């Protein structure tokens, strides 16, 4: 009975713009038709909501004409075991394909984070080559890799691509992918439940490939550092593969044990820098191709690549924003539309300065600029200073050393402040509220 859905689609195809039909209606799958009820599946909840709001009545009208009586529509989310689905994998063992079942604990790998989907440019060619080499060889003299970059530059993509490649080509290997926070939480749980020996055996004896993201989270966590050092010693001795990612070199991470720092840097270290224009253009084309957006004019791609210079996530956000706005409003995709979408994205990165951040933070907390730059360790000074450093790192391109110099502090102090605020946004509603206030303020600064 899936031909009823094909007939409905053909009936309404000419009633909506072609690009809207292709984006919203074409991907919908037929599930079943029973007693006047048509059940369809959507790839994700956003699509489901949009289709229900904008096209349900149109589908019902077309269905009534075709079957000769009123029909009802039920939309559901597509299950991952649908071969044509593009929904992200879920942690249901019965629904996971074999490649996920062979993940040895930790988090699942993202389906689209592969070597084939990674765009190689001058900013990341060494990181890509080192990652592919490490993943491809069973026996390699260099089994450790540290990927360094700011957030949104592709280090997680490469890390997960390594894991997926190994799972695909070396079926006997056990891969564990997790964050430093996951490792710490798992260790704490193991201690609380008297399962520490099991925790140790998992990583020291039964893991062939260990991928740990965001190692700067280990800052100040002595017990986690001790356990990780022992795990790394065991894996190194057994010639296992180890991949780390971080925004900072271990030497720049405060309260990190020298022994662990040495272990983290004993292999290849590769930095991923900001992509140049040519690479940004390649990334946009790759993202558009992957998501089946094949009617974006070259002028729009060139404009986006020229304006969105921050990171890959910024590029993805701009591209998605252009596609979505055009689809929802039924507009043609052109440069004026793109300008309207990305003006807020690029504006904040172009005009926000360290001085502006200091000024707004001091105004909010009722202190003077000289107070925030002073040596005072009063709580009324420390918190505003930490917030200002966090915002400076997030909203400017200044390196840690330059931010530290601006506040008369060392770069290690800046990193500690950033970590404190990040932790606070997760665990403290008051800090989270303060940061949200400044995010809204800096989203459209009036300078």
Among 294, 269, 426, CA closest to 261:
269
pLDDT band at 271 (very low <50, low <70, confident <90, very high): very high
pLDDT band at 371 (very low <50, low <70, confident <90, very high): confident
Contact 52, 41 (CB under 8 A): no
In the predicted structure, residue 134 carries a pLDDT above the cut 60: yes
CB neighbours (10 Å) of residue 406? Answer: 20
Residue 112, CA atoms < 13 Å, CB-side half-sphere: 10
CB neighbours (10 Å) of residue 61? Answer: 16
Contacts of 375 (CB under 8 A, 6+ apart): 408
Q: Output the pLDDT for position 13.
A: 84
Burial of 381 (0-12, 13-18, 19+ CB in 10 A): middle
Strand 37-42 to strand 209-213: parallel, antiparallel, or no bridges (unpaired)? Answer: unpaired
pLDDT band at 88 (very low <50, low <70, confident <90, very high): very low
The strand order across the sheet containing 37-42 reads 29-34, 37-42, 72-77
pLDDT band at 427 (very low <50, low <70, confident <90, very high): confident
Among 213, 212, 219, CA closest to 256:
219
Q: How far apart are CA 69 and CA 66, in angstroms?
A: 8
The DSSP annotation for 283-342 comes to HHHHHHHHTT-----HHHHHHHHHH--S-HHHHHHHHHHHHHHHHHHT----HHHHHHHH
pLDDT band at 84 (very low <50, low <70, confident <90, very high): very low
Region 153-168 average pLDDT: 93
Main-chain phi, psi angles of 318, to 5 degrees: -65, -45
Contact 248, 415 (CB under 8 A): yes
The structural domains of the chain, ordered by start, are 3-77 (3.30.300.180), 98-271 (3.40.50.300), 277-347 (1.10.8.60), 354-443 (1.10.1750.10)
Contact 265, 146 (CB under 8 A): yes
For the chain, what is the mean pLDDT? Answer: 84
Q: How far apart are CA 316 and CA 307, in angstroms?
A: 13
The region that residue 308 occupies, defined by phi over 0 for left and psi between -120 and 50 for alpha, beta otherwise, is: beta
Q: Output the pLDDT for position 85.
A: 37
pLDDT band at 434 (very low <50, low <70, confident <90, very high): confident
Main-chain phi, psi angles of 92, to 5 degrees: -105, 115
The pLDDT tens digits of the residues spanning 184-205 come to 999 999 999 999 999 999 999 8
Q: Output the pLDDT for position 307.
A: 86
Contact 333, 294 (CB under 8 A): no
- pTM exceeding the 0.85 threshold for the entire prediction: no
Region 56-84 average pLDDT: 79
Higher local confidence (pLDDT), 85 or 12: 12
Least confident of 41-45, 230-234, 335-339, 362-366: 41-45
Q: Output the pLDDT for position 325.
A: 86
Output b/e per residue, 207-241; b: 16+ Cβ within 10 A: bbbbbbbbbbbbbebeebbebbbebbebbeeeebb
Q: Output the pLDDT for position 446.
A: 46
């Amino acid at each position: 009975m899936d031909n009823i859905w094909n007939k409905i689609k053909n009936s309404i195809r000419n009633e909506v713009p072609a690009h809207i039909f292709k984006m919203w209606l074409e991907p919908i799958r037929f599930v079943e038709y029973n007693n006047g009820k048509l059940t369809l599946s959507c790839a994700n909840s956003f699509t489901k909501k949009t289709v229900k709001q904008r096209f349900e009545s149109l589908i019902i009208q077309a269905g009534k004409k075709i079957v000769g009586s009123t029909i009802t529509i039920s939309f559901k989310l597509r299950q991952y075991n649908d071969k044509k689905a593009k929904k992200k994998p879920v942690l249901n063992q019965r629904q996971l394909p074999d490649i996920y079942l062979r993940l040895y604990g930790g988090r699942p790998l993202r389906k689209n984070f592969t070597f084939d989907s990674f765009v190689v440019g001058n900013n990341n060619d060494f990181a890509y080559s080192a990652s592919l080499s490490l993943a491809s060889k069973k026996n390699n003299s260099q089994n450790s890799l540290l990927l360094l970059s700011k957030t949104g530059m592709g280090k997680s993509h490469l890390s997960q691509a390594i894991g997926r490649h190994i799972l695909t080509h070396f079926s006997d290997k056990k891969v564990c992918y997790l964050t430093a926070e996951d490792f710490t939480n798992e260790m704490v749980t193991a201690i609380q439940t008297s399962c520490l020996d099991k925790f140790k055996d998992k990583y020291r004896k039964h893991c062939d490939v260990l991928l740990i993201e965001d190692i700067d989270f280990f800052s100040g966590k002595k017990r986690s550092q001790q356990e990780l050092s022992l795990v790394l010693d065991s894996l190194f001795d057994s010639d296992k593969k180890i991949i780390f990612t971080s925004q900072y070199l271990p030497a720049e991470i405060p309260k990190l044990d020298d022994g662990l720092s040495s272990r983290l840097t004993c292999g290849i270290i590769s930095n991923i820098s900001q992509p140049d224009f040519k690479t940004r253009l390649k990334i946009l084309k790759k993202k558009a191709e992957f998501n089946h957006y094949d009617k974006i004019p070259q002028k729009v791609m060139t404009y986006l690549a020229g304006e969105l210079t921050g990171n890959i996530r910024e590029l993805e956000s701009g591209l998605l924003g252009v596609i979505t706005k055009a689809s929802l409003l039924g507009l043609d995709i052109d440069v004026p539309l793109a300008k309207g979408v990305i003006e807020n994205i690029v504006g904040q990165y172009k005009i926000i300065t360290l001085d502006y951040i200091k000024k707004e933070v001091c105004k909010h907390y009722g202190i003077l600029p000289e107070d925030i730059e002073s040596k005072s360790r009063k709580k009324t000074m420390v918190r505003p200073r930490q917030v200002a450093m966090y915002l400076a790192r997030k909203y400017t391109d200044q390196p840690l050393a330059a931010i530290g110099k601006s506040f008369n502090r060392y770069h290690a102090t800046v990193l500690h402040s950033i970590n404190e605020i990040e932790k606070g946004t997760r665990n403290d509603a008051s800090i989270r509220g303060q940061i949200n206030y400044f995010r809204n303020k800096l989203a459209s600064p009036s300078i």
